[in-house]
């Protein structure tokens, strides 16, 4: 299957599962779809039939509320039966509201509290180096998320330790819950901030699969330094009434909206 087609199928699954759950986070899942698709279907070495394969690359979804995009990708890749997606957020489901590594095959670490993931990714990267292992660590952060102080503590650690086996992506959709990241906390010049912290920085269109792959290859070729790829994205990408709307951060579509969203996504996927 073409990567582009895969991404649109993942978007459909995101909307379907959030619709079925009646709650959840569509906006930041749709903005991150190409990043996650490129990782699971092109960049990462992994084996859905053997989630614990020691040589697998590791993915940390720091912005854990975007669980739907991760679950959709894992289901598409074959980690579990896609029928499970309809149990999202329901009592007893393997698919918790935020990623729980104990329940979901393929989920590396449990996240949901923003700002903690990059430190965990650093730990994974340090361990890989310590063990002389070749796998890589990929981390996906929200732009609102990087307002957390811990992110910058982790940014310092990664640079200080020269974690060149780590690539971080920032889903730069410019929105958080209470509005625009620039209005909420004056968050501008994101690339310059990471550069100042000693990271190798690239800025790309986060919906361009080829650009994500090229930038990642470039990032992996960097030595002695961690890499961040600032991905310019649109929150709610693919569903016109969700695009650029902070309001669609954390709510489910009603039946009518669900049907319309799916119609739009199916058309785009062709």
Ligand X SMILES: Cc1ncc(C[n+]2csc(CCOP(=O)(O)OP(=O)(O)O)c2C)c(N)n1
Binding site for ligand X (CB under 6 A): 27-28, 31, 63, 65-66, 112-115, 142-145, 171, 173, 175-177, 235, 249
Least Cα distance to 112 among 163, 174, 40, 60 occurs for 60
Least separation in angstroms between residue 138's CB and ligand X is 16
CB of 120 to ligand X, least distance (A): 14
The binding track of 70-109 with respect to other proteins, each residue x by CB under 8 A or -, is -------------------xxxxx-xxxx-x---------
Give burial (CB, 10 Å; 0-12/13-18/19+) of 192. exposed
Write out 164-217 in H/E/C secondary structure: CCEEEEEEECCECCCCEHHHHHCCCCHHHHHHHCCCEEEEEECCCHHHHHHHHH
31 binds, among other proteins, ligand X, none (CB under 5 to 8 A by kind): ligand X
**Residues facing residue 170 across a β-bridge:** 141, 230
Give the one entry of ligand X, other proteins, none that residue 206 binds, where binding means its C-beta sits below a cut-off of 5 to 8 angstroms depending on kind.
none
189 near other proteins (CB under 8 A): no
- State the minimum distance, in angstroms, from the CB of residue 161 to other proteins: 23
In the structure encoding, which two tokens stand for residue 33, read together? 């779809």
The tokens describing 90, both together, are: 């329901």
If DSSP codes are grouped into helix, strand and coil, which group holds residue 58?
strand
Q: Is 187 in the site for other proteins (CB under 8 A)?
A: yes
> Does residue 119 bind other proteins (CB under 8 A)?
no
Query: Under a CB-based contact definition with an 8 Å cutoff, are residues 35 and 61 in contact?
Result: no
Site string for other proteins, 140-159 (x = CB under 8 A): ----xx-xxx----------
Which residues lie below 8 Å from residue 196, measured CB to CB, with a gap of 6+?
none
Closest to 234 in 3D by CA, of 220, 246, 252? 246
Choose from ligand X, other proteins, none: what does 235 bind? Cβ within 5-8 Å by kind: ligand X
Q: Which does 110 bind (CB under 5 to 8 A by kind): ligand X, other proteins, none?
A: other proteins
CA 104 to each of CA 14, 47, 75, 92: distance values in angstroms, whole numbers, following the listed order: 16, 15, 10, 12
198 binds other proteins (CB under 8 A): no
Q: How far is the CB of 229 from other proteins (least distance, A)?
A: 21
Look at residue 184 and give the partner it binds from other proteins, ligand X, none, a contact being a CB closer than 5 to 8 Å depending on partner kind.
other proteins
Residue 185 engages other proteins in binding (rule: CB under 8 A): yes
Residues 15, 21, 155, 209: which binds other proteins (CB under 8 A)?
21
* Terminal alpha carbon distance of the chain: 12
Of ligand X, other proteins, none, which one sits near residue 187, judging by CB under 5 to 8 A according to partner kind?
A: other proteins
> Cα(35)–Cα(49) distance, rounded to whole angstroms?
22
Q: Residue numbers of the site for other proteins (CB under 8 A)?
A: 21-24, 64, 89-93, 95-98, 100, 110-115, 144-145, 147-149, 176-178, 181, 184-185, 187
């Amino acid at each position: 299957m073409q990567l582009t087609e895969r991404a649109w199928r993942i978007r459909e699954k995101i909307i379907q599962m959030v619709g079925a759950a009646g709650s959840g986070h569509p906006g930041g899942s749709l903005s991150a779809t190409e990043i996650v698709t490129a990782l699971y279907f092109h960049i990462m070495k992994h084996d859905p039939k053997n989630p614990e394969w020691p040589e697998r690359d590791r993915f940390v979804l720091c912005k854990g509320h975007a669980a739907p995009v991760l679950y959709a990708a894992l289901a598409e890749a074959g980690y579990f039966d896609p029928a499970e997606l309809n149990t999202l957020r329901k009592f007893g489901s393997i698919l918790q509201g935020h990623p729980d590594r104990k329940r979901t095959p393929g989920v590396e670490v449990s996240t949901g509290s923003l700002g903690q993931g990059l430190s965990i990714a650093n730990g994974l990267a340090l361990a890989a180096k310590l063990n002389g292992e070749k796998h890589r660590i990929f981390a996906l952060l929200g732009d609102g998320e990087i307002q957390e102080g811990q992110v910058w503590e982790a940014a310092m650690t990664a640079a200080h330790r020269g974690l060149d086996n780590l690539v971080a992506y920032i889903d730069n959709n410019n929105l958080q819950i209470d509005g625009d990241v620039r209005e909420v906390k004056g968050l501008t010049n994101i690339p310059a901030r990471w550069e100042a912290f000693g990271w190798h920085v690239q800025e790309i269109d986060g919906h361009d699969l080829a650009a994500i792959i090229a930038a990642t290859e470039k990032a992996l070729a960097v030595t002695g330094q961690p890499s961040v790829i600032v991905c310019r994205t649109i929150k709610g990408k693919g569903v016109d009434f969700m695009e650029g709307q902070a309001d669609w951060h954390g709510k489910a579509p009603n039946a009518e909206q669900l049907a319309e969203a799916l119609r739009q996504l199916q058309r785009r996927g062709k």
